[in-house]
Amino acid sequence: MSPVIVRVSRRFDAAPERVFDAWLDPATAGRWLFATADGQMQRVQIEARLGGRYAIVERRPNGDAEHFGRYLEIDRPHRLVFTLAMEEDADQGDRITVEIVPDGDGSLLTLTHEMAAEHAEYAKPAESGWTMVLAALDRHLA
């Protein structure tokens, strides 16, 4: 467990199942997940099972953007956890946790992006981590 780096939340006017499936269905994921406006999707491979891998490669003006990882938890439609690395076969990498809860007739998604393991050794999980310090100082300096 590494310290939390970034957390974003978003409400969708779509049922949790649809929001969840958009992460794992190759036809859908390739259109938004690591897709950028000026890029061209080259490769979308998703093994949507526990321990399965994914590879999403987009050709961009400044070179290929490659995203690889492995699914650590798949609990449709509530929770998806996967690693994110820039090299294929890298089991290290950042950890992304996607949590989805029903919200009226839509859903609320919270994504947590945790730092790669090579820096995790510096952080004590029992502590709220250095991000708190950064955030506090940032507020102070604002």
Partner 1 sequence: MTIPNGAAILNHMVEGNPQRLDAIFHALSDPTRRAMLRDLSGQQRSVGELAAPFDISLAAASKHIKVLERAGLVQREVQGRLHVCRLDARPLHAGVEWMRHYERFWNERLDALDALLKAEDRVAAAASPANARPANKPSRSK
Positions touching partner 1 (CB under 8 A) are 5-6, 8, 10, 12-14, 18-19, 22, 28, 31-36, 60, 62-63, 65, 67, 84-86, 93-94, 109, 111, 113, 115-116, 118-119, 122-124, 127, 130-138, 140-141
68: Cα separation from own chain's centroid: 11
Contact assessment for residue 94 and residue 82, using Cβ atoms and an 8 Å cutoff: no
Instruction: State the nearest-atom distance from the C-beta of 50 to partner 1, in Å.
Output: 23
Nearer to partner 1, 46 or 94 (CB): 94
Nearer to partner 1, 34 or 52 (CB): 34
Nearer to partner 1, 15 or 72 (CB): 15
Neighbour-count burial of 97, counting CB atoms closer than 10 A to its CB (0-12 exposed, 13-18 middle, 19+ buried):
middle
CA dist., res. 83 & res. 106, Å (int): 27
Match 């199942």 to its residue by tokens: 17
